[in-house]
Amino acid sequence: MHCKKIHEIIVFIEGSIKAPRFSFGSSLTALVEVVAGNRNAAQSQVKKVQAPRFEKKTRQKISDYLKQMATPEIEAQLAPLRAAVKEYGDLIRDLKAKSAPKIDIDKAVVELKARKRLLEETEISLAPKEASFDRLKLEDLLKRRFFYDQSFAIYGGVTGLYDFGPMGCSLKANMLQEWRKHFILEEGMLEVDCTSLTPEPVLKASGHVDRFADWMVKDVKNGECFRADHLIKNSIEKLMNDKKVSADVKRDGEDVLARLEGFDDKDMHEVITRFKFKSPITGNDLTEPIAFNLMFPTQIGPTGDFKAFLRPETAQGIFVNFKRLLEFNQGKLPFAAAQIGLGFRNEISPRQGLIRVREFTMCEIEHFVDPEDKSFPKFSKIADQKLVLFPHVINWMEHQRRKSPSEMLLQTKMTIYIMFQKTVANETLGYYMARCHQFLMKVGIDGRRLRFRQHLSNEMAHYAQDCWDAEILTSYGWIECVGNADRACYDLLQHYKATNVKLVAEKKLPQPVDVDIVEAQANMALLGKSFKKEAKKIQSALQQMTSEQVTSLEADLLSKKLFNLNINGEAYPLTPDLINIKKYSKKIHVQEITPSVIEPSYGIGRIMYALLEHSFRQREGDEQRTFLAFKPLVAPIKCSVLPISANDQLVAGIEAVKEELSRYELSYKVDDSSGTIGRRYARTDEIGIPFGITVDFESVKTTPYTVTIRHAETMSQIRLEVSELGRLISDLVAGRQQWTDAQAKYPKFESTTD
């Protein structure tokens, strides 16, 4: 059943994210006038909104951002200016080719520079704040205040491994707590906690041993390894920024980037050879791509014979416990199981901080459902929720870079109306996508920088029916943070094939039906003599066989007088005297089905990094004063307690505040260090504490005591009694009240300390 009830879906393509609006008056008219040659009117319009001067690198970053992410409204204003710049760039090349007089060329160069300057100033004035985001400032803050840092740093560090400090640990714990509440508690899921050590046969059955690999290339001289797709991507991006590279080569590179996700080793080798890519470090030649399995191997026990791996995902622990979970759920479908735990992947070239690591925290849900009925009882609750969708048809269109953003947007809108009814495969998948969106927004992800991208057909596993990644825009580009996949019946069937243990559920039939049953019954007296302690295992395997398998067994016994029963890779030769074939008719009231699985999989580290970027702020008028504006719900520490001075008169007030906050289980940090109150505000703002409670001399003048509360993001303050403090902060953290509600209820406090 398709998600026919999802209304007003916003379709995303790169170039349609909605950025903050800036007042630009009648600037479009002004820009058109530039193209016509009347620059003066346009310049007078731009001056009204002209932004502060930026370094050349920052201006280029803003320009690149807008080329990809501008809204149609902004693009309409920038397109004439870009055309005007191109017009004079072409004119200068033509003049030089014709050996025109130097005075004519110089005059054209002056005009080109003026047009470029106008374009830059307009881009800066229209760009959203995130376009000029300074990652180095954020990284400095995170390292200095020990949110996280590279593991074993005093030994030189290990790439791909990170230790979380007090603030990072608390932020991560708050995100996990909210995830557990949002999904496990609110949806009534069954939570499990399975071992990280996984025997090889389990991952062999799931396909990880044979197929969980990335393509790797090596430097032919020093053997340094690079992940092939990353090397290609980075090398092409470098080409795109090289002014000496021809337009045809750049278009070819864009086409490669569009299809890179679906490339195999031969495709990657062809690209590396065609573009003559070398080692980015030494410039040496590269080997052909080879497969590198990403799992960490280990052994269980002292002999080293029992091969195992550190789990690459938490899902397999849920699948192998399906029977127990179904039994716990009283045999009923649908139901969902969830697990929070560590995953391990031996990445070829870890990079980008928390984006690509070797040990990470995952939150995974396996929702088991009847494959013929993937409707969801609570779907109506989210049916009208707006999502930013990037379906695979539009995904393919977006990669056709030869089209202008405005052309692509028009085609996209027309296409989505036609394919609207079949955008998402089923209600259950659609429901989890909506709930995913709610969770990400709740913890503080910027909705303008969040989309759901459908996998192209060459990206999806052969068994998957549909897959949508929740991608978040960061300074590293669009990052996959959550995978929402319909995995069909693949996993349970694979484990059944490997173990002969049926992983099925029973579905009640509308009316009883008669079926022919064929069973293989073990002759235990003879079986015990022949196989001794293995006899019960053989008997159990025979009982698990389907009618089709028993029919095949009977045929072998009749023709060959022998049947080799395979149990976990070991063969047991069975002769006709050891088995009795029983055939009979039976009236059945239920049907055995192998459930389909809808799997949302969350990478907490990636979401956390995106949250840090989206929460990073710089004070207006003081760009050196940076801070983190977390949602109170996930903020590592909810309040700071700041005595106005070290005077003993304030001790009683401070103790009253601490007692009140503890009564509501609110975390707090007392900062009674030396320095002005403004400097201490800045220190606590920097680490994302949303509320600052100040105890001043006015606080202890009357009974009951009063305090001021300062909202870090807006720097506004109110005064209230200590007895009301705990409930108010608790309501603000839980989202039951907003800061504006508190401002309306309590008197404003004016302060000059900020």
Task: Give the C-alpha separation, 559 to 84, whole Å.
Answer: 84
* pLDDT for residue 401: 42
- Residue 398 placed within a domain: no
Regarding whether 513 and 499 lie in a shared domain, the answer is no
For residue 576, cis peptide bond before it (omega within 30 degrees of 0): no
Same domain, 57 and 88: yes
Residue 405 above 50 pLDDT?
Answer: no
162 and 190 in a common domain = yes
Higher pLDDT, 137 or 416: 137
Q: Is the pLDDT of residue 22 over 60?
A: no
Together in a domain, 121 and 33 = yes
Q: In sequence order, what DSSP letters do the residues of 106-120 get, joined into one string? A: HHHHHHHHHHHHHHH
* pLDDT at 14 (0 to 100): 36
DSSP one-letter string for 196-227: SEEEHHHHHHHTHHHH-EEEEEEBTTT--EEE
Residue 424 confidence (pLDDT)? 86
Question: What are the strands of the beta sheet with 748-749, ordered from one edge?
Answer: 668-670, 639-643, 691-695, 706-711, 717-721, 748-749
173 token code pair: 């714990």
> Do 331 and 474 share a structural domain?
yes
Residue type at position 61 = K
Q: What is the pLDDT of residues 486-513, one digit of tens each?
A: 999 999 999 998 888 899 999 888 888 8
Q: Do 139 and 268 lie in a common domain?
A: no
β-pair type (388-390, 10-11) = parallel
The string of pLDDT tens digits covering residues 604-630 is 999 999 999 999 999 887 778 899 999
Q: Which of 238, 273, 293 is the last residue of a domain?
A: 293
Are residues 150 and 197 part of one domain?
Answer: yes
The predicted pLDDT at position 710 comes to 95
Query: What is the pLDDT, as a whole number, of residue 1?
Result: 45
Within-domain flag for 52: yes
483 shares a domain with 339 = yes
Question: For tokens 């909202």, what's the residue?
Answer: 711
Same domain, 143 and 99: no
The residue out of 293, 317, 336 marking a domain boundary is 293
Q: Name the range with the highest mean pLDDT among 188-197, 229-238, 346-355, 692-701.
A: 188-197
| Tokens matching residue 546 | 């389907």
Indicate the pTM of the whole model.
0.80
**For residue 731, what pLDDT is reported?**
96
Residue 95 scores a pLDDT above 50: yes
Residue 752 confidence (pLDDT): 63
| Distance from C-alpha of 475 to C-alpha of 438, rounded to nearest angstrom | 23
637: closest CA among 674, 689, 564, 707? 689
Mean pLDDT of 512-539: 86
CATH assignment at residue 341: 3.30.930.10
Is the preceding omega at residue 101 within 30 degrees of 0, hence cis? no
* 378: Cα within 13 Å, side-chain hemisphere: 10
Q: How far is CA 333 from the centre of its chain?
A: 29
CATH of the domain at 269: 3.30.40.230
Q: What tens digit of pLDDT does each residue of 568-590 get? A: 778 888 888 888 888 888 888 88
Measure the CA–CA gap between 78 and 63, rounded to whole angstroms.
10
Position 63 scores a pLDDT of: 74
Average pLDDT taken over every residue of the chain: 84
Q: What is the mean pLDDT of residues 366-382?
A: 93
pLDDT attached to residue 477:
85
Q: Which of 252-266, 329-343, 394-408, 665-679 has the lowest mean pLDDT?
A: 394-408
Q: How far is CA 292 from CA 211, 215, 218, 591, 622, in A?
A: 10, 6, 11, 43, 48
* The pLDDT of residue 412: 36
When pLDDT is cut at 50, 70 and 90, the band that residue 675 belongs to is confident
Query: Residue 391's pLDDT is what?
Result: 80
612 lies in the same domain as 579: no
Mind listing the pLDDT tens digit for each residue in 345-371? 999 888 888 999 999 999 999 999 999
Please state the domain count of the chain: 5
Model pLDDT, residue 464: 84
Largest CA distance in the chain: 108
Give strand ranges (E) for 409-567.
450-454, 466-474, 477-486, 505-522, 563-567
Report the pLDDT value the prediction gives residue 402, as an integer from 0 to 100: 38
User: What is the distance between the alpha carbons of residues 715 and 423, in angstroms, rounded to a whole number?
Assistant: 44
Q: pLDDT value at position 53? A: 52
Q: Look at residue 176 in the predicted model and tell me its pLDDT.
A: 98
Q: Is 621 helix (H, G, I), strand (E, B) or coil?
A: coil
Q: What are phi and psi of 669, to 5 degrees?
A: -135, 120
Q: What is the mean pLDDT of residues 423-439?
A: 92
Same domain, yes or no: 326 and 441: yes
Enclosing domain of residue 102? 27-127
Q: Kindly report which listed range (33-37, 63-67, 94-98, 733-737) carries the lowest average pLDDT score.
A: 33-37
Residue 298's pLDDT band (cuts 50, 70, 90):
very high
Residue 189 and residue 312 share a domain: yes
pLDDT, position 394: 56
Would residue 399 count as lying in a domain? Answer: no
- Report the alpha-carbon distance of residue 685 to residue 640 in Å, rounded: 9
d(C-alpha 259, C-alpha 184), whole Å: 37
pLDDT at position 393 is 62
Q: Residue 4 pLDDT more than 50? A: no
